[in-house]
Structure 1
């Protein structure tokens, strides 16, 4: 067989990989849920959380980007609305068993709000679904809250008493938000605060509400 004939036979036998192999989606380590809460027009007498709705569940990188790019961007929200990204099976409510004994790290956005919140939100989402947090099992989810005068990003945790875990989560959260940690405050769920001193030691802030680290 001539060389030209061999080359032609090989070329005819070659099939591009893309034509015979379907592209497989990139699976995440766990399922996540987007939730939406619009409190702009609350019904009279409605209980807290009555407007909270599960919007979508996903477990692939492709589905995440599709949902985020088309719907779940904080700057698209009207005032008094929240977007939540929580682990599947965990509701973004203080009463949920996964959240009841925990708290949240919060960052308040006041300057360049839309751009700053959108960037911090996306960076935090990617860190969560990409399992970049060392204490990933201690995280419930994250919430972006849009209000008239300021916006807020909050990372919900399962614990309020494990100081080492909370500090590591604070550092990682502030890193993903591209801000220094001292812009953040910690709040405990289902805990009543009888006073509000200006400063708490690390040993005491986990037992209080809205205790700012300075």
Structure 2
């Protein structure tokens, strides 16, 4: 997300005196005077255009479009994971952005989900919120999850990011962030929220998310507390 800058310089022409080599020819002298006036007129017009264009260029200034919140991209490298490692220990903050231009500059230069290695997790969370159950903001929250065939989540991942950073949700303050997880046979996008017990807010977020993505399958909401206790056996508390 760069403006092209121009630097116009007006040229200055030095006028030379034109002497008539034949002082006895009055008609020829008048013709030379007419040619001289036309030549000066062209130069004058050119200078005027250059000055006007230069003023317009100087008036153009870089004005970034700030987002309501700052956001951080996180990457959990699959090659750094191991069964012995503590969950989340291989997760690293990549970059924090707070303007529309910064977002597009980053998004256009990073791998989309379909290009990530199997086992990778790519997160986008509000600044200072870590994508972990242990984070104080996330501790009492939960997540909605969408499932896709392998290589089919790119567009929905982009639309999820745009809806989040563009504050499109009615209960946007409840949202912590989103993560896309790439696995061998499928990809999942999860939307993390703060207060899992606030059913009204969670149902609203889930319904709007499906509408933004035009997603027709049923989705479920799992409390982080249940996920910690039961792992993959955790049941959906809400469904849409």
Separation (CA, whole Å) in 2 of partners of 1:59 and 1:134: 20
**2:120 aligns to what?**
81
* Pairs within 5 Å for 1:147-186: 147-180=183-216, 182-186=217-221
More helix by share: 2
Separation (CA, whole Å) in 2 of partners of 1:98 and 1:39: 25
- Count, aligned residues: 194
| Partner SS, residue 165 of structure 1 | helix
Contact 1:80-1:148 within 8 A present in 2 as well: yes
**2:86 aligns to what?**
47
Separation (CA, whole Å) in 1 of partners of 2:147 and 2:126: 23
Query: Structure 1 stretches (4+) deviating beyond 6 angstroms?
Result: none
Q: Does 1:93 align with 2:121?
A: no
**1:123 aligns to what?**
159
Contact 1:35-1:85 within 8 A present in 2 as well: yes
Q: Does 1:189 align with 2:224?
A: yes
Contact 2:75-2:92 within 8 A present in 1 as well: yes
Unaligned runs of 5+ in 1: 197-207
* Pairs within 5 Å for 1:3-18: 8=45, 11=49, 13-14=51-52, 15-18=54-57
- Could you list the per-position Cα deviations for residues 142-178 of structure 1 after superposition, in whole angstroms to 9, with x for gaps in the alignment? 0000000111000000011111101110011112222
**Structure whose CA Rg is larger:** 2
For normalisation by structure 1, the TM-score amounts to 0.81
Shift of 1:18: 3.3
RMSD: 2.4
For normalisation by structure 2, the TM-score amounts to 0.73
Deviates further, 118-127 or 63-72: 63-72
